[in-house]
Amino acid sequence: MRADPCNERHHLRRNRGCWQLRFTLKTEHNMVGRRVVCGLNTHDEDEARVRRDIVLRALSKADLLEMHSDMAEVMEKE
Amino acid code (one letter) for 11:
H
Is residue 56 a part of any domain in this protein?
Answer: yes
Residue among 40, 56, 42, 47 nearest 3 (CA): 56
Predicted confidence at residue 50, as pLDDT, reads 94
Task: Give tens-digit pLDDT for 4-13.
Answer: 668 888 999 9
DSSP 9-29: TTTEEEETTEEEEEEEEE-TT
Is the confidence at residue 35, as pLDDT, over 70? yes
User: Does a structural domain hold residue 4?
Assistant: no
Domain count, the chain: 1
In a domain, 31, yes or no: yes
Q: What percent of the chain has pLDDT over 90?
A: 36
Provide the domain limits for residue 57: 12-77
| Distance, C-alpha 14 to centroid of its chain | 17
Is residue 17 assigned to a domain?
Answer: yes
